[in-house]
């Protein structure tokens, strides 16, 4: 009887050790995941593999001691309507937080600002309904679009921030737009220096976003 108990204890000890070994990779995969949801500014148009905005922001977070998994959910050419249409399948990777960078293509197409507001509102509402903290990166309309259009478009982001009380980076291309040394030859998409500039400036807010995950 004693021998049987000893064998049982050894068997249970082996199972326990195996359980710990199996748990190690599982724990390693439990890093918070941040989805960067946007258009070509996120996808990394014209940049080498691994140098898109989500990659560089992830590197800067890691250097700051914040271990996260970055999800590049950028689709070139996407409007706010396109983003809304693909939101559900973009969430298949189960992000714990989201950075939204949408609206630039709405501007390029001269779409009604109120339609952009409605789409972004639905995206944020869906994320918040899933208890996913949000950092919204705004866009600004070129002034040659007309004062009224620019005023109405710029306001949609402030309206959303006021409604949902979310983290806000007012202009994704701040310090980069219209700077030749910060952009690719097309004058629209940031080059490596531009991406680094944006990621550096957004880093403090990204750190707050990670903190919001931990407070859920």
Q: CA of 167: how far to CAs of 20, 47, 112, 158, in Å?
A: 38, 27, 24, 11
Which residue in 39, 40, 90, 116 is the catalytic one? 40
The DSSP annotation for 64-118 comes to TT---EEEEEE-TT--HHHHHHHHHHHGGG--SEEEEE--HHHHHTT--HHHHHH
17 CB contacts (<8 Å, ≥6 apart)?
none
Give residue 214's pLDDT. Answer: 82
pLDDT at residue number 64: 98
Residue 186 known to be catalytic: yes
What pLDDT does residue 4 have? 52
Instruction: Give the model's pLDDT for residue 54.
Output: 98
Which residue among the candidates 39, 106, 189, 197 is catalytic per the annotation? 189
The catalytically annotated residue of 88, 148, 181, 186 is 186
Radius of gyration of the chain (CA): 22
Residue 75 CB coordination number (10 Å): 19
189 is catalytic: yes
- State the 10-residue block means of pLDDT for the chain, 216 residues long: 52 46 46 97 97 98 97 98 98 97 97 98 98 98 92 97 98 97 97 98 98 88
Domain boundaries, the chain: 1-30, 32-214
Q: Would you state the structure tokens that stand for residue 118, as one six-digit string? A: 């409605």
The values of phi and psi at residue 136, to 5°, are: -100, 125
Are the beta carbons of 129 and 121 closer than 8 angstroms? no
> Is 197 part of the annotated catalytic residue set?
no
The CATH class of 32-214 is alpha beta
Q: Are 142 and 150 in contact (CB under 8 A)?
A: yes
Spatial separation of the C-alpha atoms in residues 96 and 131, rounded to whole Å: 8
87 within 8 A of 126, measured Cβ to Cβ: yes
Q: What tokens appear for 98 in the block?
A: 């989201």
pTM of the full structure: 0.86
């Amino acid at each position: 009887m004693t021998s049987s108990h000893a064998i049982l204890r050894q068997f249970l000890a082996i199972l326990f050790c195996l359980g710990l070994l199996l748990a190690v990779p599982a724990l390693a995969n439990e890093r918070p995941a941040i989805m960067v949801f946007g258009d070509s500014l996120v996808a990394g148009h014209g940049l080498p593999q691994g140098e898109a905005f989500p990659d560089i922001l992830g590197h800067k977070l890691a250097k700051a001691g914040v271990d996260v998994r970055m999800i590049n959910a950028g689709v070139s050419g996407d409007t706010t309507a396109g983003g809304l249409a693909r939101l559900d399948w973009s969430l298949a990777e189960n992000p714990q937080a989201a950075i939204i960078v949408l609206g630039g293509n709405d501007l390029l197409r001269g779409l009604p600002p109120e339609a952009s507001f409605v789409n972004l509102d639905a995206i944020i509402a869906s994320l918040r309904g899933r208890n996913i903290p949000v950092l919204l990166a705004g866009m600004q309309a070129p002034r040659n679009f007309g004062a009224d259009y620019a005023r109405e478009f710029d306001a949609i982001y402030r309206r959303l921030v006021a409604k949902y009380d979310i983290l806000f980076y007012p202009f994704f291309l701040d310090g980069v737009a219209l700077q030749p040394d910060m952009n690719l030859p097309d004058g629209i998409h940031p080059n490596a220096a531009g991406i680094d500039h944006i990621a550096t400036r957004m880093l403090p807010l990204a750190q707050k976003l990670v903190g919001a995950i931990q407070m859920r």
